[in-house]
Amino acid sequence: MNQPSFSSRRILRPVRPWFVALTLACALLLNLMPLGRTPLLPDWVALVLCFWCVREPLRVGMGAAFVLGLIMDVGYGSLMGQHALAYVLLAYAAGTLSRRILWFGPLRQSAHVLPMLIGTQCVMLAIRLATDAEFPGFMFFAGSVVATLLWHPISFILLLPQYRPENKDDNRPI
Amino acid sequence: MVSPVAGHSPPPFFRRGPAPLVRLIVLVSAALTLIVVDHRLHYLELVRQGLSVVATPLQVAAGMPVKGVRSAGEYFADITRLQRENVELRREQTALGTIRLRQEQLDMENTRLRALLDMRERRQVAAQVAEVIYAVRDPFSRRVVVDKGMTQGIEPGSPVVDDIGVIGQVTRVYPLNAEVTLISDKDQALPVQIARTGVRAVMFGAGNGSLELRYLPTDVDVREGDRIVTSGLDGVFAPGLPVARVKGVEHDGSGGFVRILCEPIAGVEAHSTVLIMTPGKPVDPAAIAPAPPAKEAGK
């Protein structure tokens, strides 16, 4: 199944706002899950937020990113505003690049997503190093690579409620 | 397209709020303000407490499946391991029982001697047992969250120990749980002394789970394997708690200080049950030193 993009012929149903909120809440839950300090775990909130900012730039934007970032800061007990700043910048980049990214297929979309996620982590790294925290090692960035690999499956799952059945109707070509 | 007349542009068809760039600048400056205020001024603890009302239920919900899987694993743990553990615990309890019997006697003797020397009673340290719920996922620091909080009377600054030695200090208290910064965290400093020589120093986290003794001159008498205990100079940690063992001493001669790497004695990064002590008041020198002779006092 090819992914719906501007260049594909699939037409999606409009997104339901509660579904967007639900997926963002689920991403928060996944992030707050106490799984220890494994660097391979992706930042689910950044991934899902990036997805909705690309897909629905008029519904999900920097305001939502800021609020989610603040909740993450409290949940992680990190410096207040660290995640908020990084997510706001991510949302801005994703929203601005949305028109461009949606012309590409899944692989090239991932190629756009990787620098954005790495950039988000770099913002956090810069903030924490400027405030005298320890450098966590380069495995810190592994989470973003895993998240990029998950971009295609995640976008398939998050778009599932918007797919319409493919029934061929000879009278209506679209 | 209609050209704007003298600064009047036509009203937009769709209301979309401020332009993205404006929103970006506003939110980024808000986030930067938060960072500076939190890092420099520490005014945001109240905001954090407020937002934790939102975050804590999420955390509890997120912790449930993990806890379920873990308890299921424990349920199916093989019986031989449990039996072995039981035997070990019994043996340990017997050993501790004899120590306790001796300690009662020593305590009595100590009170008598202190009364004889006219010294003040040493403060009894109250402590609470707590479970470590999880390690904080923030990769830039080393902290854990325990299941006792404000409602159980935990105070920020309380020392946290396990059955072998010091593991950290409570840095943030939420209504139902508390955050413990481990001694291996880069920002965590601990006043210590070398048990063999009595040299006092400050212990910092070295970043990769080990510890470092800083600001000691190159001619200091320290050897590999030396035990390091708390000095109690901060008045928060009781003196004499085991902290670390010296792992290596490097004289690089460049900075004028010797580089002493240590490894923690307690299971700092791997533990489940800890003891949170209530911090004492700053140590009063008069409480340690014997009282002046009666002749002096009589003058």
What confidence tens digit (pLDDT) does each residue in A128-150 have? 888 878 788 888 899 899 999 99
pLDDT score for A25: 92
- Kindly state whether residue B107 falls inside one of the protein's structural domains: no
User: Which residues from chain A sit within 8 angstroms of residue B133, using beta carbons?
Assistant: 34
Integer Rg of chain A from CA: 17
- Kindly state whether residue B256 falls inside one of the protein's structural domains: yes
Which element (helix H / strand E) includes B86?
helix B79-117
Residue B237 belongs to domain spanning: 124-284
- Give the type of residue at B181: T
CA distance B195 to B226: 7
CATH number at residue B248: 2.40.10.340
pLDDT of B254 higher than 80? no
Number of domains in chain B: 1
**B70 touching chain A per CB within 8 A:** no
- Kindly state whether residue B291 falls inside one of the protein's structural domains: no
User: Which residues from chain B sit within 8 angstroms of residue A77, using beta carbons?
Assistant: 136, 138, 143, 145, 172, 179
The whole-number average pLDDT for the span B270-283 is 70
- Kindly state whether residue B38 falls inside one of the protein's structural domains: no
Minimal CA separation from B271 to chain A, in Å: 13
CA distance A56 to A69: 19
- Kindly state whether residue B207 falls inside one of the protein's structural domains: yes
| 3-state DSSP assignment of residue B278 | coil
- Kindly state whether residue B213 falls inside one of the protein's structural domains: yes
The whole-number average pLDDT for the span B241-259 is 81
Query: What number of CA atoms fall less than 13 Å from residue A168's CA on the CB side?
Result: 1
- Contact: A77, B31; criterion CB under 8 Å: no
Residues B202-221 have pLDDT tens digits of: 988 887 778 888 888 888 88
| 3-state DSSP assignment of residue A13 | coil
The whole-number average pLDDT for the span B236-249 is 86
CA distance B107 to B122: 11
- Kindly state whether residue B25 falls inside one of the protein's structural domains: no
Which pLDDT band holds residue A34 (cuts at 50, 70, 90)? confident
**B52 touching chain A per CB within 8 A:** yes
- Kindly state whether residue B149 falls inside one of the protein's structural domains: yes
Token readout for B32 is 């930067």
User: Which residues from chain A sit within 8 angstroms of residue B45, using beta carbons?
Assistant: none
Long-range contacts of B286-292 (CB under 8 A, 24+ apart): B286/B120, B287/B119, B287/B120, B287/B122, B288/B119, B290/B117, B290/B118, B290/B119, B291/B117, B291/B118, B291/B119
ipTM for the predicted complex: 0.86
Quickly list H helices, chain A.
17-32, 44-55, 62-76, 82-101, 106-130, 142-149, 151-159
CA distance B18 to A171: 44
